[in-house]
Amino acid sequence: MKKFFWQLIGVIMLVPVLFLVGCGQSETQELRRVDTAMGTVVQQTVYVMGKNDRKNSLTGDILELIRKLEEETLSWRLETSETFQINTYAGSGKWVELSKELSQILEQCQKLTEDSGGAFDVALGPVARLWDIDSWAAGQRTGSFQVPGEQELTDALIQSGMGQVQIQFLPGEECADIYLEDGAALDFGAVGKGLALDEISNYLESDGHITGAVVSVGGSVLTYGEKPDGTAWRVGIADPGDPSVNMGILTLTGQWYISTSGDYERYVESGGVRYHHILDPGTGYPADSGLSSVTVLAENGLLSDGLSTACYVLGRERGMALAQLYGAEALFVEKDGEIYMTPGIEDLFRPVD
């Protein structure tokens, strides 16, 4: 619960930043809303132009998009989701047809696995469930946390990874077939929030009355359009040493997808050691690449979220190369507090004194 509390505080700390400039034009209405979904805080500020009958339901519709994505497609916990259902076929010897949506998501995730040399891997489910750090961090588990034993970790690693999954697109088909080896399990935790931003962005675009918005789903943020007064969006980057304060501000105009992965977000401590939730698929242990956090700005939410996880596992030098391969910008905070960034982010970032 403690970690969730800090996450909540981190998001709430953003609020004054986001509201630094109010909207003065009477024809534009500002809608704000804070909820929880995908096990995290969802915060919306949406600017709507003119008389719009759907004003009242708009932020509710956006929240519903996130919940629907979780309940129908991505959750590995809820029986209602496609991911949960697909995972039940592991070891059955059967090929299963995926929806068009999940086929496209998996195809992009598979490419990111290849490009990251396996640092990012949505088939890491068996190892992630063994640690279950998200549940510990959210206070959903009681008793004392035990570090997994060597043998059970080795067994979980054998069942993990895209090597345990086959995906096949038949010529001309939009929906792929999938085959999971015994014990394999998909876990979209590393891209779910980014995927939610992609859906939200499509929704904002299709509405026609929304002039600007900033939506955060945990550590992933979408900026869209403009503020009524024309000033830039300001997105805070939490200080990994004290996530209740921002260590810097990104000043952005227009549409951006920004995701942060860090060791301070979800973790459990045992014997004076912090075990966080970003796992190294090579070792099965929490990644130890010398970083405290990585923030990535990319062309879509799947990439910003996926790349921030991958870059965290890879560390600064290899992470920087991966971000640049995708034309993304990245900001790395090392454990000693040193900050490194790709050239394109230098003009956008200002440290907080």
Q: Which residues bind Mg ion (CB under 5 A)?
A: 190, 305, 308-309
Provide, rounded to whole angstroms, the least separation between the CB of residue 78 and ligand FAD: 8
Provide, rounded to whole angstroms, the least separation between the CB of residue 308 and ligand FAD: 6
Distance of CA 166 to the CA centre of its chain: 24
Neighbouring CB atoms inside 10 A of 71's CB total: 15
Closest to ligand FAD by CB, 207 vs 334, is 334
Provide, rounded to whole angstroms, the least separation between the CB of residue 259 and ligand FAD: 6
d(CA 244, CA 246): 7
For the chain, the helix, strand and coil percentages under 3-state DSSP, each to the nearest 5:
35, 30, 35
Closest to Mg ion by CB, 193 vs 209, is 193
d(CA 308, CA 303): 8
Using Cβ positions, the residue closest to Mg ion within the complex turns out to be 309
**Is residue 219 within the footprint of ligand FAD (CB under 6 A)?**
yes
What's the count of helices (H) and strands (E) in the chain, helices before strands? 10, 16
Secondary structure E strands in 50-189: 96-97, 165-168, 177-180
Instruction: Look at residue 218 and give the partner it binds from Mg ion, ligand FAD, none, a contact being a CB closer than 5 to 8 Å depending on partner kind.
Output: ligand FAD
**Is residue 213 within the footprint of ligand FAD (CB under 6 A)?**
no
Site residues for ligand FAD, window 63-92 (CB under 6 A)? 70, 74-75, 77
d(CA 194, CA 196): 5
**Is residue 218 within the footprint of ligand FAD (CB under 6 A)?**
yes
Instruction: Look at residue 187 and give the partner it binds from ligand FAD, Mg ion, none, a contact being a CB closer than 5 to 8 Å depending on partner kind.
Output: ligand FAD
Backbone angles phi, psi at 295, to 5 degrees: -115, 130
**Residues engaged in binding ligand FAD (CB under 6 A):** 38-40, 70, 74-75, 77, 119-122, 124, 128, 134, 138, 187-190, 192-193, 218-219, 261, 265-266, 277-279, 281, 305, 309, 313
